Amino acid sequence: MTKAEELQAVAILVPAGFSDHAVERIERTFRRIAIERADAALVTDEMRSTVRGIASFAGINAVMMDALPNLELIASFGVGYDSVDVGHAAANNIMVTNTPDVLTEEVADTAIGLLINTIRDLPRAETWLRDGSWAKKGDYPLSRLTLRARRVGIFGMGRIGRAIARRLEAFGLPVAYHNRRRVEGLAYQYHPTLKGLAEAVDTLISVAPGGASTQKAVNAEILSALGANGVFVNIGRGSTVDEAALAAALANGTIAAAGLDVFAAEPNVPKALLDAPNASLLPHVGSASQHTRRAMAGLCVDNLVSWFGERRPLTPVPETANVRARG
């Protein structure tokens, strides 16, 4: 049997709504098995006996993994993987991969665009033109905030955080950061606590991953430390923010403005944030260009091909880096 024939025999489970580009490649390379959603209640006897890999946007929990006794690999689409129970995967010798790097620059671009939109109120200025207010009422009001002389803190100095920092340097803005630990070789000022970072800057950009350790990390205390001239931007995960505290901080002047691309219960956005005139909101479009999504889909499938063809992953998540192929 040739290598291509061996791969064709490998059954990959693909929940509905997955990338069309990835699905096309999976169908050409493997035996694709469709499922409505990643729900153990929908797993059939055939799936239990044949499925060796999952390719998915959606979260994969422990129950779903346990329903597939031959599961070897979860190829997760996206850089964030907090919706996958990686601890359970590691404990059961299941590899988990994600799609880092290929979306870094796109998300960093979006972060800077969202920051400028938030500070200069550009979406509302465009609406002022489009709805005829410019012609009827005159010039759009001067923006209260400016990017000039701002001090920026980045919460989460990973690949995307560093790409955002490089862009901010081009604007001539000083950058500081908070991580679980200092990044070796990085010249930006490091703050061992998020509160210390917020106290030292007036602009906070969160690129932090989701998970228990960052749940509602940006809370009332952090927003208060940021101050009345403060601007908060979140391009990471909605779960890292106490949204009720953020809405209150925007309403009572604790901070000046916020720009959000992610939310805790997407696609549901709290009404208090929707109603906030000093919030710029996007529908989780950080990496949402055709170019970048195709690259992410390609890497997702490349991980499947490498694992089942060469018995090694290309981009394993740290928690499962020690998982070894069976047989």
pLDDT mean across residues, the chain: 97
CA 55-56-61 angle, 5° bins: 110
CATH topology assigned to domain 3-100+290-320:
Rossmann fold (3.40.50)
- Report the pLDDT averaged over residues 107-114: 98
User: What CA dihedral angle connects 21, 26, 27 and 31, to 10 degrees?
Assistant: -160
Catalytic residue among 266, 291, 311, 326: 266
Annotated catalytic residue 237:
yes
Q: How far apart (Å, rounded) are the C-alpha atoms in residues 298 and 23?
A: 10
Handedness of CA 61, 64, 68, 73 (dihedral sign): negative
305 has pLDDT over 80: yes
Tokens of residue 322, six digits: 């020690």
Annotated catalytic residue 284:
yes
- Do the domains spanning 3-100+290-320 and 104-281 agree at the CATH topology level? yes
Q: Using 50, 70 and 90 to split pLDDT, how confident is the model at 233?
A: very high
CA 221 to chain centre: 24
Q: Using 50, 70 and 90 to split pLDDT, how confident is the model at 2?
A: confident
What's the DSSP call for residue 268?
B
Catalytic residue among 120, 151, 167, 284: 284
pLDDT in tens, 178-227: 999 999 999 999 999 999 999 999 999 999 999 999 999 999 999 999 99
The whole-number pLDDT of residue 199 equals 98
Domain ranges of the chain: 3-100+290-320, 104-281
Q: Using 50, 70 and 90 to split pLDDT, how confident is the model at 310?
A: very high
86 has pLDDT over 90: yes
Catalytic residue among 162, 191, 237, 293: 237
312 has pLDDT over 90: yes
pLDDT in tens, 20-52: 999 999 999 999 999 999 999 999 999 999 999
The whole-number pLDDT of residue 3 equals 83
Among 288, 237, 300, 287, which residue's Cα sits nearest to residue 96? 300
Q: How far apart (Å, rounded) are the C-alpha atoms in residues 234 and 236?
A: 6
127 has pLDDT over 90: yes
Annotated catalytic residue 37:
no
**Percent of the residues in the chain that have a pLDDT greater than 70, as a whole number:** 100
73 has pLDDT over 90: yes
Architecture per CATH, 104-281: 3-Layer(aba) Sandwich (3.40)
